[in-house]
Structure 1
């Protein structure tokens, strides 16, 4: 009988300490599409034992989350993490995102990061040796959003945001490989 009482006491102590290690965190009560504003009705509070590596958003930060944007498609029941929210959507009004495929000769060897300010140089159509080198070079200011390497071609696709009225020209020139990228200063 004494062993059962002792085992029961140990089980109760374990249950109490397990409950003590839970945290109140935010989860999604409904689906939220990428870029949509997160509303109060989209989130709820649950108590979980959360691994610190998940960067879960504490229930006390609820007011910071309401009104932010979904950084990706978020599904009901998903834990809200710092990576699942964004302050704004990309591209913003008046901007467009263009993917530019570049070889190592068309960009600096210095790694690029999201947010880097760059200048895209539109090379003349005849820069391949067929004439046209006397043309004035045109440049477009841009910001890096993302980069991905394409193993099959050895190129790098750099997603950039540019003014909407420059996007079509940039996309057309990039499609023929006529773009070089210049990294601007990172000093603030």
Structure 2
């Protein structure tokens, strides 16, 4: 008799768990930062619902088509709103400038897309007098990658179009330093 009652409890719990499943969006193929979301890389899946995780509902599939990945998305990841953007970078007023730096010259926590930087320009030219206040350009991290074969991290930064010609050559020669600025509230 105890075995029958125990079996009924297990069966009830199993059915109850299966009924608490929600249809959510899942990445089915790796999506690189900035790539559009398509039917080829996102689908729906049934998962056990947990109200503390902000997953996108399966009903949101038509809404996310054409949006872009705000970060690299790996296959099997449950999709969240913060992982998507409708912004394309660089915008018409911006240029993307890659800066290669040693990992030891980056914040220990790393850099994330959206982090604000002050890129200090330090031309190695003896004719340029030292200045008391650093000369620099404000930038926003678009993407990071590495370390590469040379042991360098590449930080792609977005800068105003007018600042790119000044930053580009100095970044290519390694004559910049990166300072992390506070996040905007």
**Smaller-chain TM-score range?**
0.5 to 0.7
Displacement of 1:115 in angstroms is 3.3
Alignment of 1:20 with 2:15, yes or no, is: no
3-state DSSP of counterpart to 2:170: helix
- Aligned residues: CA RMSD: 4.9
CA distances 1:42-89 after superposition (whole Å, capped 9, x unpaired)? 5443321266786532334445533421242554xx343226433334
3-state DSSP of counterpart to 1:132: coil
Q: Which shows bigger deviation, 55-64 or 172-181? A: 55-64
Change over 3 Å in CA distance of 1:134–1:55 after alignment to 2: same
3-state DSSP of counterpart to 2:99: strand
Change over 3 Å in CA distance of 1:88–1:149 after alignment to 2: same
Q: Which runs of no fewer than 5 residues in structure 1 stay unpaired?
A: none
TM-score (norm 1): 0.59
Partner in structure 1 of residue 128 of structure 2: 133
Flag the structure with higher helix content. Answer: 1
3-state DSSP of counterpart to 2:137: strand
Partner in structure 2 of residue 142 of structure 1: 139
TM-score (norm 2): 0.60
Partner in structure 1 of residue 57 of structure 2: 58
Q: Which runs of no fewer than 5 residues in structure 2 stay unpaired?
A: none
Displacement of 1:26 in angstroms is 1.5
3-state DSSP of counterpart to 2:87: coil
